[in-house]
Chains A and B, each alone.
Chain A
């Protein structure tokens, strides 16, 4: 895979003009929350940066992340950029198997020691290393060996970033995130179940051009995880007006009102789903009429039920913090002090409250 042509040749081969490339760079610069003045540098770096060797390890996962990143209906420039890295090992995508595949990984590691990018999807079982192995090597051992020579690690998907579904109660395999094992390398978490393809290419593009992007407290790039889905949701004006769907087939649902009362986790979920959307920008879950599940946040599977309103501590928000949950859920609906008081009371009583209840209390 290392002798693939560089991006300019790929662009020509796919009939993409220089204007198209400039357009992509302008949008990518905007997407990465960089100043428009940086656009020429982004273009220059994407054209001239040496293609980094990428080793992709898949552990306890469902392959949804790989599906998300590689699937597209037509060749896009995102594909070109994805092809412009030298993907030297990915056991789902590569033709080689068995000893040949492992030899490719070892060669890429040796040839690019200290420089390659390690992408991981899936969590790592530590209760018994034998629970998940590749070519007779445990996931834990393979991660430690491969991470040792990596310049940086990108944890793709919620499983690699936070443990994800394998980590859900009762976590029979003792699944953990990459960051709980590797402590001496820069780790970029790109959570989502799966992540949006352009977020992945955006993170890779940022790494190619300017190195590790600015990260939040959970190791996520701020450019893509800086705001909640609720902040940018097209249904937000209904929330602000107190207009909520109460069921999946009532008037509110038909009129496209806010899904907060149906358990939408948008207020506490940081992601760009509402702006970048899915399936080439077609839609996103809330637009399709379903509440956000909160899949870019830690422990989303264990947070008490996808259809319970957020105001109550329905589950274990241990990594998120109750204050953040409360502040996000009632923004614009009640004073912060009163909201905290309402939430604390609800938490103590384990009662269901929503924005209306909090407003009444104010």
Chain B
């Protein structure tokens, strides 16, 4: 009887330990060691699907890496594809979900080259730059556009909600962000900046801006409604605005 109770007791004591072994406590220990080691940065994801857990971990390690680099004065962008090949991976099946743990050498992350933001026109909605910081659109592309096909063939009117949003803005700082968003969404194909009317593509809408970055007028493409001011719905043209300092066009 005593022996039976003794065996039962031993089982109670040891089973949880052996179960712990089966649930990969070694992996958790290894994860914890990495977390406590300053040489590494890590990201962790939990999900029923392994690939989703992996994606969450990549997202976390990426934002961690970008923050660390930024704090060290490096604002070059990193993409998931930059991190993917260099991360080490630990996977633990935690209850009913995957725990994907990714880690990478901190020094490697800090020293790797990223992607310098190209000075694309209106690409960064967060920083509101002045019109003269914009880059002139490739003129060759514009002149190519102006040859060949007629305006009617080329002109694609933009959706009313896009035009209405732009018309509701009163200054360049506001309108710039909307242009950027619509361009990112593909609802506006191209944008450009110029000081000379002849450089504007014939099928482009025009935003006339004064030296205080106020919006003087938004004009429909020359060939479509031939100089309709979209803010007032009246006929209008550039020469009505001698204080216009810059024109931003979009289509």
A and B held together in a complex: no
Chain A residues within CB distance 8 Å of chain B: none
Chain B residues within CB distance 8 Å of chain A: none
